[in-house]
Amino acid sequence: MTVVVRWAPSPTGRIHLGNARPALLNWFFARRMGGRYVLRMDDTDQARSTREFADGIEADLDWLGVRPDLLVRQSERTALYDAARDRLIASGRLYPCYETEEELDRKRSRARLLGKPPIYDRAALALSDEDRARLEAEGRKPHWRFKLDGRPVTFNDLIKGPQTVNTASMSDPVLIRADGSYLYTLPSVVDDIDLGITHVIRGEDHVSNTGTQIEIIEALDGAVPHFAHHNLLTDAQGQGFSKRLGSQSISDFRADGYEPLAIAIVATLTGTSLSVEPYASLDAIAERLELSMISHGAARFDPAELDTLNARLLHTMSYQEAQPRLSVLGLEGEAIWLLLRDNLVRFADMTEWSKLVTGPVEPVVAPEDREFIALAKALLPPEPWDENTWGQWTNALKGATGRKGKALFLPLRLALTGRADGPELKSLLVLLGHKACLDRLP
């Protein structure tokens, strides 16, 4: 059996970290199993779905390194849904209902007052042909509900283990609105059958939907896929990510200069038994991550952890990988990259750090260090310079002044770089050269 998975975003906004989690988990599973990855745009919500958002989702996935094997759009597959609708009507599983939203609200309120669950009472099933004709003559248009079996539906969740959803405690779900448009459920089921989806990997907020979907799949004589419901990623305060609430999008992280691999690692390995740490590639994660490693507890995103991870990825990045991006910044040479990469949190920080080599730098000299810096300038060794030059210079200064430790090194760093932190001075000295150092020592 060839594994086929799908990720099915609604193009009603830009995707955020919470959306990226199932997108990547499906990708890792497909890569690990040698399967296929389908990107399905659930764009049946014509009022909110836009092609601009769909294109943005594709761009965000591409930036993360996810390239689907197949892209489909539900808006282009209506004929399939119509055929399934007709089959369900013919078999008596899909039936028309004429209640208005206000009437349904009153029914639910009355049920609550009586201490009953607020589920639909199936009153529409008792309507005669004459009743339906009269209601339609009044201008009412039906919405359509799927008649549930009302039984325990069991399935083995690949993350959560054995699950039971009792559809007897659920309202018959509305599959088609009064305007004839489809809600999420029927197109999703029809597409899963038609595309041969073998594994549905999605958030645990969909567990209760699974019983309904299995019943519809069986009513359409489809093969029931395996299900895996993962824990949801929340923000630092424990709140879920949301497009409508304006959660920071993947494109925002990209604009802020984060590495796509850092975003992928944080989005997927948070809330698993694997550590949030640098990996060489998405494939390296796929080789290690198993669905059984996903925790049953919460997965909380820590912005500080992302910054640390992003920095660690840059600190181990090879010059060959960095070179094209350095060229964009007007920087060339492996030496400058190896010197400065350990100081980066985001790649764009190179612009500022490179000034330590290219200038301009404003030297900082405390009044009590002026004589020391003047002596340092006089004792600066002649070229040629190498990695030993720094030691020769500081040993000479130590012997002449008695200074050591911070009192010796910090004034030199401040004078040469204008800041108290930064790369190893023994390597920086070689890149600067004799003339630049003389110019920076007042």
Element (H, E) at 155: strand 152-157
Q: Are the beta carbons of 268 and 275 closer than 8 angstroms?
A: no
pLDDT confidence band for 243 (50 / 70 / 90): confident
> Pick from 305, 331, 358: which residue ends a domain?
358
261-308 tens-digit pLDDT: 999 999 999 999 999 999 999 999 999 999 999 999 889 999 999 999
Domain shared by 4 and 45, yes or no: yes
81-92 tens-digit pLDDT: 999 999 999 999
Q: Are the beta carbons of 41 and 9 closer than 8 angstroms?
A: yes
> Pick from 316, 332, 349: which residue ends a domain?
316
pLDDT confidence band for 245 (50 / 70 / 90): low
- Structurally, the chain folds into a number of domains equal to 3
pLDDT confidence band for 248 (50 / 70 / 90): confident
Domain shared by 312 and 323, yes or no: no
Instruction: Tell me the residue range of the domain where 92 lies.
Output: 1-98+142-316
Domain shared by 324 and 375, yes or no: no
Task: Tell whether 130 is covered by a domain.
Answer: no
Tell me the C-alpha distance between 43 and 72, whole Å: 10
- pLDDT for residue 286: 97
Longest dimension (CA), the chain: 110
Task: Tell whether 180 is covered by a domain.
Answer: yes
Domain shared by 378 and 329, yes or no: no
CA distances from 220 to 112, 156, 214 (A): 34, 21, 10
Q: Tokens 């296929």 label which residue?
A: 36
Domain shared by 38 and 162, yes or no: yes
> Pick from 335, 358, 381: which residue ends a domain?
358
Task: Tell whether 112 is covered by a domain.
Answer: no
Domain shared by 91 and 188, yes or no: yes
Q: What percent of the chain has a predicted confidence (pLDDT) above 90? A: 91
Domain shared by 146 and 206, yes or no: yes
Domain shared by 300 and 328, yes or no: no
> Tokens at residue 315, please?
């600190």
Task: Tell whether 116 is covered by a domain.
Answer: no
Q: Is 52 exposed, middle or buried (0-12, 13-18, 19+ CB in 10 A)?
A: exposed
Task: Tell whether 343 is covered by a domain.
Answer: yes
- pLDDT for residue 33: 97
27-49 tens-digit pLDDT: 999 999 999 999 999 998 888 88
Is the predicted pLDDT of residue 396 greater than 90, yes or no? yes
Domain shared by 324 and 407, yes or no: no
Task: Tell whether 126 is covered by a domain.
Answer: no
- Cross-strand partners of 41: 73
Domain shared by 176 and 43, yes or no: yes
Is the predicted pLDDT of residue 195 greater than 80, yes or no? yes
Is the predicted pLDDT of residue 116 greater than 90, yes or no? no
User: In a 3-state reduction of DSSP, which class is residue 149?
Assistant: coil
Domain shared by 25 and 60, yes or no: yes
Domain shared by 396 and 331, yes or no: no
pTM of the predicted protein model: 0.91
Residue, of 426 and 244, whose pLDDT is higher = 426
Among 55, 39, 72, CA closest to 251: 55
As a whole number, mean pLDDT of residues 17-28 equals 97
CA 148 distance to own-chain centroid: 35
Is the predicted pLDDT of residue 237 greater than 90, yes or no? no
As a whole number, mean pLDDT of residues 117-129 equals 94
Task: Tell whether 75 is covered by a domain.
Answer: yes
Task: Tell whether 347 is covered by a domain.
Answer: yes
The domain spanning residue 379 has which CATH number?
1.10.10.350
pLDDT confidence band for 374 (50 / 70 / 90): very high
- pLDDT for residue 246: 67
pLDDT confidence band for 416 (50 / 70 / 90): very high
- Detail the DSSP E strand segments found in 279-335: 299-300
- pLDDT for residue 47: 80
User: In a 3-state reduction of DSSP, which class is residue 105?
Assistant: helix
Q: Are the beta carbons of 210 and 154 closer than 8 angstroms?
A: no
Phi, psi of 220 (to 5 degrees): -100, 10
CA dihedral of residues 55, 61, 64, 68 (deg, nearest 10):
-130
Tell me the C-alpha distance between 267 and 234, whole Å: 10
How does the average pLDDT of the chain come out, rounded? 95
